Structure 1
Amino acid sequence: MQTSKSLLIRYLPLCTLLLPLFINACAPLEQAELRAVAPSTATICPPQGPADDTELIATPEEINEELAGLKGLGSWKSGKPKDGDIFFLDAAGPNSVPLVMNPQVEYYIGFFQGRYRCHFTKWLSRSTLYLPTIQQHFAQKGLPPELAALAMIESGFSPVALSSAKANGLWQFIEETGRRYGLRVDPYVDERRNADKASAAAAAYLKKLYEEFGHWYLAVAAYNAGEGKIRKAIERYGTRDFWELADQPYLALETKRYVPQLIAAIIIMNDPARYGFGDNEYQFPEPLEYVELPGGVPLTAVAMSANCSADELQRINRELKKNHTPPGKQSYTLRVPQGTASLVAQNLPRLQRRMETEYATHTVQSGQKIAEICKQYDISTTTLLKANNLRNASLKPGQRLRIPQTIERYVFADSPRTGKSVAGQNAEPRSQGEHTAGQVALRPEGRKAKATAAEPAPQPAKPAVAAGTKESSKTAQVEPRKTKAAPATNAAAAKPAKEQLYVVQRGDNLWKIAKKFQVSADDIRRWNKLGSNELKPGERLRIREA
């Protein structure tokens, strides 16, 4: 009987590593052995962008269809060499993830190429945003770099993914497990959505599971189902072979699929062009800086100080559940775009809050009650009656009502001592790269580079995230304008006014949207040539940055 070592020599001559971004693996198998089928070129996927809060990993219908196909494969083979139809690939490292080719793995390779092609394309596109951070933490814990592909199976490399079981973030921690491994989860902060801290927690958890079960298949199955479930399965069937356990009815199919999904993802990510993903566009980490802020500082104020948008700050600080830093005496470290930390430190102490009243107009519809209108605009009945000099709540269709709304605005004072500053104390800038160097596996070769933010597109021959050390960014200062109370600025952060499209959501009104973007309702009406305040869900509005 041939040993796995002899099979390895026969089929896979060892090859040298290709850049730090590739996993420690061997040259690919012959096409017939992997039975990889190129996907249909007719499949066209939409352009890929960053993850958003509305994104679901998969719908229940998609999961049920996937599981039905998996169940139809029959028994789960062990993955050992047998009759030439299964090929076992020894991993290079002593604790690496072993790769097998069996019907279940083949099913998921085809599944990712076919029905899930657009999902996988999106996940692959985002992978390069988080692989450096993940693999740095994995290296510190002695975990194999290819295990970073587990984040694809967990969340599709989305820091805002939310499951039906309320598991959240890149590594899909439930609240209890996240807190157990040091993540802060409270009404103001959810560090499960912080890619860096969640990856550190995942590395610690996976190391603990591997130390208990002694094999990555069992460890990742336990990551999905819980340690207790895998312990009971081992005790019930008297085996620590994952494939033998998977062939029994005790483990849920959702847990069984986890291992072949991971293996298929590693195989494809190690050679995406071979499996039909060679033209994928990849996103790369943008350089960021840090500022230490007091509690309760609004992000809109920080954005104005940094000459960026509040939406941009929320995107790079996903763990914040409110639109301000957590209240309290402790300071909070906020990430800001590169070149803006010193601006925040200079401008925020001079920024002051002003409350102004603006009036919108509402036309009463047939059958509409005053309570319904007050709820729509989040005002009291008394306020509405006073604003319109009404003695009672009787309304007529077509009647026009003035809707008072309080608008919060920020202005720059001449100096930090003039009036009351938004920040109770000065902001302290800390300049450093957000993503530090580390071994980055699973990097596709010959990809199309897609830069994010102001970062230049990498050259094809260079790694997406070069190995090295943390870099401190330098802010190029220029002389501030001589106008009264002008905010500090710099060459890197000075930007022309940007315009974006906003899709009206159910429950939106003109005032809520104006408040969200720190502009006036009149501005939105003028930019979009609106004849009234009435908006419909799905309507697109042009919004310019304040």
Structure 2
Amino acid sequence: MRAPRLLAAAGTAVALAACQSLSPPSAPDAPERGTVASSPTPKRVPLRTTRTALPELEAVQVRTAGDVLDRLTARLDAPACVRGSHNNLWRERYAAQPDRFAARVKRILPLLDYVMDEVEAADLPGEFALIPVVESWYRPDAHGAGGSGAPAGLWQMIPSTARHHGVTITPGYDGRYSPVESTQAAIAYLDSLHTEFGDWRATVMAYNAGEGRMRRALAKDARIHGERRRPGGLASHTYTYVDKLRALSCLIAQPEKQGVAFERDAVIEPLAEVTLAPGTQDLAAVAAALELESTALAALNPAYAGGRIGVSAPHVLLVPARTRLRWNGLASLPSASPPAAEAGEYIVRSGDTLSEIAQRHGLDLSQLLRWNQLSRSAVLQPGQSIKLTQ
């Protein structure tokens, strides 16, 4: 995902007019044999800003792999399979080993199911739920090359893009690695792009290249060539982005074309969000209260460095939906007891930062630094004593 361009009022009308060519193209994709015509696009509804409350255990329905795949297929642009060398190339690359491809899809289904909830709530095309496959194969902890400025998370956002769309990035917490925060930001961004560009292909091209670049390409292409499905002048990887999503859509909707056989009866456990009580400090305590493996909970919520939940980090986790009945007791989970300390001192725990320690004890950071003869860039070590008074 590229860094977004600020919306420019000038030129928007031209871009909107140009992008209309993407919905009724002069040279439509040709369906393969056995495909069906597209059904009318349902009326779009506003994106919800908050998710519904986590259902009680009794209301958590057992879902199968087939349920999730069918939900996704129902929202794909028809026909899902089209002729073309690029489409064939990426189908063959993704499913070169059909059994391996089916196994990878099976592993990501709980997160895909979660993202589909958001896609359906925003009434967006199903192709958008396949973007994290292209970006990261649905790995919440995925990190691209390039150091601190590299893309990260399911949606592979770079830091500037993430912050621009409201994702929290603070010491000890990076919301790009949160399936909850990153998905909310990505879906909101895709919703705004889809509202402007109207077609899923134009939308994902703008998502990949930046909406400003897409507007300019559409405006220029409309002046030179008239109506075209794909405007010229964009990077090759932006066009490939559409090809990959097309290929994945075909593999999901008609896997038999590539010799793929999904285990449709496999049970998939839905995921849901929970809000932690103020003062909850680490994932291990949450996992114990929910009777989950701490490594499993950490794998779903890698945004918290070292499993520590800082006071400035969002207190929202992604958990298996079946844990709802145990969650009522966790709402009042006390903070984990700090290590033994003398009066007026604090013993550093893994993941602590100076700013969090100061905030937690109602102190000014500069005072804390002065009392402990530390710089703002000081690296804390677990077990280290920090003075809380002069």
TM-score by length of 1: 0.44
Partner Cα distance (2:206, 2:271) in 1: 35
Matches within 5 A, 1:451-462: none
Q: Which residue of 1 aligns with 2:111?
A: 130
The alpha carbon displacement at 1:301 in A equals 4.0
Which of 9, 18, 21 is equivalent to 2:71?
21
Q: Which residue of 2 aligns with 1:187?
A: 171
Which of 134, 140, 157 is equivalent to 2:138?
157
How has the CA–CA distance of structure 1 residues 310 and 263 changed in structure 2, closer, same or farther, with 3 Å as cutoff? Answer: same
Count of aligned residue pairs for this structure pair: 285
The alpha carbon displacement at 1:129 in A equals 1.2
Q: Which residue of 1 aligns with 2:327?
A: 341
Matches within 5 A, 1:203-222: 203-222=187-206
SS at the partner of 2:120? Answer: helix
Relative contact order: is structure 1 or structure 2 higher (C-alpha 8 Å, sep ≥ 6)? 2
Partner Cα distance (1:138, 1:222) in 2: 18
User: What are the Cα deviations for residues 227-283 of structure 1, in whole angstroms up to 9, with x where unaligned?
Assistant: 2322333344435634462xxxx4322222111111000000112244222155867
How has the CA–CA distance of structure 1 residues 164 and 290 changed in structure 2, closer, same or farther, with 3 Å as cutoff? Answer: same
SS at the partner of 1:203? Answer: helix
The alpha carbon displacement at 1:23 in A equals 1.9
Matched, 1:172 2:156: yes
State the AA in 2 paired with 1:101: R
SS at the partner of 1:176? Answer: helix
User: What are the Cα deviations for residues 143-202 of structure 1, in whole angstroms up to 9, with x where unaligned?
Assistant: 122432222112212222222251111122222222222322222332222223322322
Q: Which residue of 2 aligns with 1:108?
A: 90
Q: Which residue of 1 aligns with 2:123?
A: 142
Q: Is the 8 A contact 2:218 2:231 kept in 1?
A: no
State the AA in 2 paired with 1:150: I
State the AA in 2 paired with 1:24: A
Which of 250, 275, 284 is equivalent to 1:267?
250
RMSD, matched Cα: 4.2
Q: Which residue of 2 aligns with 1:198?
A: 182
How has the CA–CA distance of structure 1 residues 331 and 103 changed in structure 2, closer, same or farther, with 3 Å as cutoff? Answer: closer
The alpha carbon displacement at 1:210 in A equals 2.5
TM-score by length of 2: 0.59
SS at the partner of 1:257? Answer: helix
Partner Cα distance (1:204, 1:347) in 2: 32
Which of 315, 319, 322 is equivalent to 1:332?
315
Partner Cα distance (1:258, 1:331) in 2: 32
Q: Is the 8 A contact 1:129 1:283 kept in 2?
A: no
Matches within 5 A, 1:2-151: 12=35, 21=71, 23-24=73-74, 91-92=77-78, 100-114=82-96, 120-121=101-102, 123-151=104-132
User: What are the Cα deviations for residues 46-94 of structure 1, in whole angstroms up to 9, with x where unaligned?
Assistant: xxxxxxxxxxxxxxxxxxxxxxxxxxxxxxxxxxxxxxxxxxxxx45xx
Partner Cα distance (1:107, 1:334) in 2: 38
Unaligned runs of 5+ in 1: 27-90, 357-405, 409-422, 425-511, 516-546
Q: Taking every aligned residue pair, what percent have the same amino acid on both sides?
A: 24
The alpha carbon displacement at 1:299 in A equals 3.1
User: What are the Cα deviations for residues 378-427 of structure 1, in whole angstroms up to 9, with x where unaligned?
Assistant: xxxxxxxxxxxxxxxxxxxxxxxxxxxx998xxxxxxxxxxxxxx99xxx
State the AA in 1 paired with 2:71: L
User: What are the Cα deviations for residues 510-529 of structure 1, in whole angstroms up to 9, with x where unaligned?
Assistant: xx9xx9xxxxxxxxxxxxxx
Q: Which residue of 2 aligns with 1:278?
A: 261
Partner Cα distance (1:112, 1:331) in 2: 36
SS at the partner of 1:101? Answer: coil
Partner Cα distance (1:289, 1:209) in 2: 26
Which one has the largest radius of gyration?
Answer: 1
Which of 227, 235, 241 is equivalent to 1:252?
235
Unaligned runs of 5+ in 2: 1-25, 40-65, 342-346, 350-359, 362-380, 383-390
